[in-house]
Structure 1
Amino acid sequence: MDELPRVLIVEGKQDRKKIQKILDDEDVFILCTFGTLGIDALEELVDDYQLFERDVYIFTDTDEPGKKLRKMLNQELSHAENIYIDKKYREVEDAPENVLASLLLSANMKVKTEYLKGF
């Protein structure tokens, strides 16, 4: 059986869109929560995407909704790895592409060659 793709959980569509532009890794599925989840929605997400059987990465904003979502996800998915954006950028979608590329690389994800300058 093939290994399930890794899952990168982000909050919004713009986060997913920006990361998709940078990422060059077919082994990573970007899952968008569309903001903070209720407990029922979170449990459904975990079941629907088989998150207990996958490598999971949590990449949320540094604002209160992002912190709340990260906390909920970490409680449910204790095996997940966290990727943190510097507080000065506040939101994943507002971070420079080279910063995002660096963070994704540090999580062992492949990025497109044009974002590898300086690495």
Structure 2
Amino acid sequence: MKKIKEIIVVEGKDDTVAIKRAVNADTIETNGSAVNESVIEQVRLAQQTRGVIIFTDPDFPGQKIRNTISEQVKGCKHAFITKQEGLPKSGRGIGVEHASPEAIRNALKDAQLMDEEAPEEISQQDLVDAGLIGGAGAKDRRERLGVLLRIGHTNGKQLYKRLNMFQISKKAFIEAMVRINQEEKNE
């Protein structure tokens, strides 16, 4: 079983269980979206010693946790699963705890470092031109793009910020959009 050097930040115990089924890793649990100072201090120490991967659920509370930690602890990597990968086989809810070991391993393999100082490569106009902001089908295109680029689900404003923070190249963006457009033609 693959050993992950970084410490993985998850929301709760069930997420830790799912992570440990997929990889050999240590976790820090936030125990909900009200991330307290004690958890932030643990994450800071983890970041200084081994590095951190934030791996939260693909929903609003998960994004809130991700944002809270990212704002206070710089240099964390980010792993994402899609909403589809986080759906339970039965019951309600969505989250890392429901993802398959393969989906978890892929998300961790593709974990990316956000760089808030990165030069802008993709403009708002590029997003409009690609049909990702406003108009029919924009939400679906953003979801497909988030899956292809492994950057998670976003609204238009978040997409712009995330593409640039993850330093997604214009070339990778265009290649993903070509694929999305081809899939739409084949539907």
TM-score, scaled to structure 2? 0.47
Which letter maps to 2:66? R
1:13-28 matches, within 5 Å, as: 13-24=13-24, 28=25
Whether 1:81 and 2:74 are equivalent positions in the alignment is no
1:1-119 matches, within 5 Å, as: 5-24=5-24, 28-46=25-43, 49-88=45-84, 89=86, 90-107=94-111
Q: Which runs of 4+ in 1 moved over 3 A?
A: 41-44
Query: How far 1:106 sits from its partner (Å)?
Result: 3.1
Tell me, yes or no, if the aligned pair for 1:7 and 1:55 is still in contact at 8 Å: yes
Say which structure is richer in helix: 2
Query: How far 1:42 sits from its partner (Å)?
Result: 3.7
TM-score, scaled to structure 1? 0.70
**Residue of structure 2 in register with 1:112 after alignment:** none
SS state at 2:7 partner: strand
Unmatched 5+ residue regions in structure 1?
Answer: 108-119
- More moved, 52-61 vs 75-84: 52-61
Which letter maps to 2:56? T
Say which structure is richer in strand: 1
Query: How far 1:99 sits from its partner (Å)?
Result: 1.1
Query: How far 1:40 sits from its partner (Å)?
Result: 2.5
Give, in whole Å, the separation in 1 of the partners of 2:62 and 2:79: 12
Question: For residues 43 and 93 of structure 1, do their structure 2 counterparts lie closer, same or farther at Cα, with a shift above 3 Å needed?
Answer: closer
SS state at 2:57 partner: coil
Greater relative CO (CA pairs within 8 A, separation 6+): 1
SS state at 1:67 partner: helix
Unmatched 5+ residue regions in structure 2?
Answer: 87-93, 112-187
